[in-house]
Amino acid sequence: MDYKYKIEQLRRQDLLRTVRDRGCPAGRVINIDGRDLLNFSSNDYLGLASSPALIGAAKQALMDYGHGAGASRLLSGGTTVHALLEEKTAAFKGAEKAIMFNSGYAANTGAIPALTDDNSAIFSDALNHASIVDGCRLSAAKRYIYRHNDLDHLESLMKNSPCAHKLVITESVFSMDGDVADIYNLNLLCNKYNAALYIDDAHATGVIGQGRGALAHFNVTPNDNIIQMGTYSKALGSIGGFVAGSEAVIDYLFNTARSLIYSTALPAAAAAASLAAIEYVEAHSELPAELPAELPAELPAELPDLIVKLHKTIDNCRRMLRSKGFTVTLDNTPIIPIVFDSTAETLHISGRLLEMGVYAPAIRPPTVKQPRIRISISAFHEDEDIEHLVNALSEAIR
């Protein structure tokens, strides 16, 4: 294959990707190529990634267990910290048991093929993440794609499927659109057709349901037919993925998930940092009800500080963008897409933002069909950051 030619083709189509590494911790301001930029590109929604709590926990585990795990989890790669994290994750998600993977990507590509066989049918939302798509590709199951969030379409596909074992897969908060799947009605539909529901809670964990994710947000009680996948790498500020579910599902995954069995375990330091992050969210999530859509100016003292700060900032940003004429949905999530007609235009806007000190890269095909600036809000943003972002965006599109 002529790779140089292929690269040139990508360049001509405005689809060539460049790596921009930072020379500082992840956070509100990042230094790229010697410039300090306001960071609107991070999934570190609570700003925990560089927090003393996570760094302290990781440091301690590094001293106690060393760095590299040395082997896969099923050999000698795991530690008591890994086991503790799985216990904590299960309790946090209201599940019987949990299993950790090296990443969210490894969780989806390991769990989906392991949980299905050639007698299964997978029903996957059209906008599901690439890791779900790849997990489905690795599965022997028959695959059906239903229109994004279209439960009528899903039902018509399920009704006509001859397969006895059915698995519905959806993200809860969609990674590129920031909208929320109707988990309440998806659960009812799955019950009706005796299907299992696999929820990718990557962008919901730490964000909605007082940080516990989609089931808590929709007030759905976990049961044996619900499998909750998630990642420690986004709002939890760490690294690694997980699946939480019934004891049988998790025990089966320990025996069959190839991305777990054939890959060296994460260092204990990573598990310790994830544990500290869940402890943070848990300590702040003994709340009576879901956060209201419009938060009151005076917040009740028992509300979790970073989660509340995040939601206030999201609310503020979405409202300011709307007031400047941008099309922004009512979803109360930190992912705000500003969609453009062409990749060239999106790249131009992203470049203009960079000139104005804002880092919000263009997201292009094949990641998404319609190119966009994906604004990502974090609890570390201040009101003046949001103001600067919205003014810069207005200026850039002129």
Ligand X SMILES: Cc1ncc(COP(=O)(O)O)c(C=O)c1O
Q: Which residues are catalytic?
A: 43, 129, 171, 175, 200, 203, 234
Choose between 177 and 385: whose C-beta lies nearer to ligand X.
177
Q: Is 231 in the site for ligand X (CB under 6 A)?
A: yes
| Both tokens assigned to 123 | 């029903």
Nearest residue relative to ligand X (C-beta):
104
| Both tokens assigned to 252 | 């089966």
Q: Is 175 in the site for ligand X (CB under 6 A)?
A: yes
Q: Inter-axis angle of helices 151-159 and 183-192, to 10 degrees?
A: 10
Instruction: Check if the beta carbon of residue 165 is closer than 8 Å to that of residue 121.
Output: yes
Which residues, in sequence order, are CB contacts of 268 under 8 Å at separation 6+?
61, 62, 64, 65, 66, 69, 79, 81, 82
Choose between 108 and 225: whose C-beta lies nearer to ligand X.
108
Give the helix/strand (H/E) hosting 87.
helix 80-92
Stretch that binds ligand X, among 29-37, 69-77, 101-109, 293-301 (CB under 6 A): 101-109
Q: Is 171 in the site for ligand X (CB under 6 A)?
A: yes
Q: How far is the CB of 376 from ligand X (least distance, A)?
A: 11
Q: Which of 82, 93, 97, 129 binds ligand X (CB under 6 A)?
A: 129
Instruction: Check if the beta carbon of residue 131 is closer than 8 Å to that of residue 266.
Output: no
Q: How far is the CB of 335 from ligand X (least distance, A)?
A: 9
Q: Quick count: other Cβ atoms within 10 Å of Cβ 189? A: 19
Stretch that binds ligand X, among 196-204, 212-220, 278-286, 366-374 (CB under 6 A): 196-204
Choose between 163 and 212: whose C-beta lies nearer to ligand X.
212
Q: How far is the CB of 387 from ligand X (least distance, A)?
A: 28
Of 387, 79, 57, nearest to 238 (Cα)?
A: 57
Strands, sheet with 165-171, edge to edge from the N-terminal-most edge strand: 97-101, 241-245, 226-231, 196-200, 165-171, 120-125, 142-146
- In sequence order, the β-bridge partners of residue 335 are 376
Q: Is 285 in the site for ligand X (CB under 6 A)?
A: no
Q: What single string gives the DSSP state of each residue in 109-173?
A: HHHHHHT--TTEEEEEETT--HHHHHHHHTS-SEEEEEPTT-HHHHHHHHHT---SEEEEEEESB
Stretch that binds ligand X, among 71-79, 103-111, 275-283, 389-397 (CB under 6 A): 103-111
Q: Is 372 in the site for ligand X (CB under 6 A)?
A: no
Choose between 57 and 243: whose C-beta lies nearer to ligand X.
243
Instruction: Check if the beta carbon of residue 325 is closer than 8 Å to that of residue 169.
Output: no
Q: How far is the CB of 365 from ligand X (least distance, A)?
A: 16
Q: Is 202 in the site for ligand X (CB under 6 A)?
A: yes
Choose between 207 and 390: whose C-beta lies nearer to ligand X.
207
Q: How far is the CB of 131 from ligand X (least distance, A)?
A: 4
Note the residues at the interface with ligand X (CB under 6 A).
Answer: 103-105, 108, 129, 131, 171, 175, 200, 202-203, 231, 233, 241
